[in-house]
Structure 1
Amino acid sequence: MEKANKVSVWIGKFTDGDDLTDYIENTYDENGDSSNQFRDDTGIDWFDDDFREADMLQPDLSLRENLVGFSWIDSFADVLIHQLEAMRSADDNGLILLYNFQYLSAESVRPASHVRFVGTFVFRK
């Protein structure tokens, strides 16, 4: 659900950047209705694409270095890194962030999905 100054984060495994993009990009049917695999996997009905960021993690960089390009990251990097270090597996290589969004249904992520919910964090602009 939309929530100001909250960012919800997922981590997952993708073959490459194109795979990550395909996972989060909307497709439209003949009626103009949109869907994407990320929404299907997480049970999210809708989110504003303008507040979505995603990127591949580079294995030769630290988590902190990988986060540099994300918006407002300085305001929540420490807690995000702590959480990622606690749950990240060796093959996790992609992050998805939804800003101004509080994910309330962590149990809704399908077990076979590309992603796992990391958490919702407060950010400051």
Structure 2
Amino acid sequence: MKTKAQYVVAVWLANFNHEKELRNYLEVTYDEDGNSQSGFGDAVGLEHFDSDFLEHASFNNTMDPEEIINGVSFSEYFKHHLTPLINNDSLSAHNTIIFLYGKQDVYGAINEHIFSMANEPRQQLPFSFIGTIKFEIENQ
């Protein structure tokens, strides 16, 4: 029996000087009590997230939105909704796009709290929140 899994992707644009700075900012660390911390989580207001579902891509100002998104996990399910949300003006001020995925299916939920994130763009320096896009994929 095939079932559908519900997914959501939250998308941010950011600007970093180099890859090491980006990786350090995205890295999740744990204190002695097992509590997680990350510069990214703090900046965007997420106390906890599964970093295995975090993805990023760097780009330059000569690339168009579709070129940046191609090759990103699940992009075939959401790129037609995302490309209108990002434009050359927003891309020119950034060099990185960050994707955090959530999933909900019969096996449980991952990063389920991002399903309820407000879908209104707002500034969260050094990140610009683009929005969330929901989509479904059939489980095999």
Q: Please indicate the TM-score interval, normalised by the length of the shorter structure.
A: 0.7 to 0.9
Aligned residue pairs total 121
Report the 3-state secondary structure (helix = DSSP H, G, I; strand = E; otherwise coil) of the residue aligned with 1:102. helix
Q: Specify the alignment match of 2:128 in structure 1.
A: 116
Match of 1:27 in 2: 29
- Over 3 Å counting, the alpha-carbon distance change for 1:78 and 1:110 in structure 2 is closer
Letter in 1 for 2:9: V
TM-score, normalized by length of structure 2?
0.73
Consecutive unaligned residues in structure 2, runs of 5 or more? 103-113
CA contact (8 A) 1:41 1:110 kept: no
- Residue aligning to 1:78: 80
Shift of 1:98: 0.9
Shift of 1:28: 2.9
Q: State whether residues 12 and 98 of structure 2, in contact with CA within 8 Å, keep that contact through their aligned partners in structure 1.
A: yes
Task: Select the structure of larger CA radius of gyration.
Answer: 2
Following superposition, the deviation at residue 34 of structure 1 comes to: 2.2
- Residue 70 to residue 89, structure 1, CA distance change in 2 (3 Å): closer
In structure 2, how many angstroms separate the alpha carbons of the residues matched to 1:115 and 1:14?
Answer: 10
Q: Could you tell me whether the CA contact under 8 Å between 1:52 and 1:97 is conserved in 2?
A: yes
Cα distance in 1 between the residues matched to 2:18 and 2:116: 25
SS at match of 1:55: strand
Counterpart of 2:51 (choices 40, 49, 52) is 49
Q: State the identity %.
A: 29
Partner of 1:67: 69
